[in-house]
Amino acid sequence: ILDEAALAQAAAGVDAVVHLAALGSVPRSVKDPIASHHANATGTLMVLEAARREGAYVTGASSSSVYGSVPDLPRRENQPTRPMSPYAASKLATESYILAYGTSYGLPTLPFRFFNVYGPRQAAGHVYAAVIPVFIDAALRGEPLPLNGDGMQSRDFTFVDTVTWVLADAVHRKVTSDRPVNLAIGANVTLLDLIAELESMLGRELPIERRPDRVGDVKASQSEPVLLRDLFPGMPETKFEDGLRATLNWFLAEQGTGH
């Protein structure tokens, strides 16, 4: 997305843009904040410029990490933002630019604050992988689950089917908002809860490798999805247990095929 010519070619003639491109991961942003800023803030600006030339609708992904250390749960869109990492700050810039293009240029826009999206096909084999694929991959390999901190960190894990349904409906109906919208259903699952669910599904105890807390990590995260449900009344809401089982089954199937 930092390649202006490639962006112009990709955006030519489109009537909608779904902007999900980013450098994810809090730890990666702590290690290289400049790269996170370039990809997430400057990159978003370039996507918006390409969309503006086409007069296209834009929806894009910010992050629940923008709430940072705000103590109150669940997270509501009218709460203050307190980014704790360069990644969170870059995502605050992402949503701010999306909204600014709505007010400055009349572009129809809708920024979402993604929470912890998970599901089949989520990659596990890299240093910045998300916790659910990392835990499942370790469990299936017979390795200890790498647990940062005490395991009481809580997350609003959101199944990928919910996210893709909302994005598709937003584009189809050209839904707009003058503020970011939380995209999560209000779950509150600790990492220890996640491990217990995996143990139940696999029928065995899983060893844990204790690690230090991660710099910039948010302790607790949970959405208040009132605005989301108002804007998307037909949204499917997958229970965490069902989504986790579907994800585990996908990993088991991949293991069976030798991938």
Cis peptide before 74 (omega within 30 of 0): yes
Catalytic annotation present for 87: yes
Query: In a 10 Å sphere around its CB, with 0-12 CB exposed, 13-18 middle and 19+ buried, how is residue 38 labelled?
Result: middle
Can you tell me the distance from the alpha carbon of 42 to that of 39, in angstroms, rounded to the nearest whole number? 6
84: nearest Cα among 219, 192, 199, 185: 219
**From 67, 87, 97, 101, the catalytic residue:** 87
Can you tell me the distance from the alpha carbon of 242 to that of 42, in angstroms, rounded to the nearest whole number? 37
- Helices 240-256, 191-202: inter-axial angle, 10-degree rounding: 50
What is the pLDDT at residue 116? 94
Interval 111-155: pLDDT, tens:
999 999 999 999 998 877 899 999 999 999 999 999 999 999 999
Strands 145-148 and 181-183: unpaired
Please report, to the nearest 10 degrees, the dihedral formed by the alpha carbons of residues 12, 17, 18, 19 taken in order: 80
3-state secondary structure of 62: strand
Q: Spell out, as residue ranges, where the chain has pLDDT lower than 50.
A: none
Protein fold of 13-256: Rossmann fold (3.40.50)
Quote the tokens at residue 112.
């979402």
Strands 189-190 and 154-155: antiparallel
pTM, to two decimals: 0.93
What is the pLDDT at residue 144? 98
Task: Indicate the helix (H) or strand (E) that contains 240.
Answer: helix 240-256
Is 237 in contact with 185 (CB distance < 8 Å)?
yes
Phi and psi, residue 54, nearest 5°: -95, -5
Q: How far is CA 157 from CA 36, 123, 129, 239, in A?
A: 23, 16, 15, 10
Task: Indicate the helix (H) or strand (E) that contains 168.
Answer: helix 160-173
Is 240 in contact with 186 (CB distance < 8 Å)?
no
Can you tell me the distance from the alpha carbon of 157 to that of 234, in angstroms, rounded to the nearest whole number? 19
Side chain identity at residue 167, one-letter code: L
- The residues spanned by each domain of the chain are 13-256
Mean pLDDT of the residues in the chain = 95
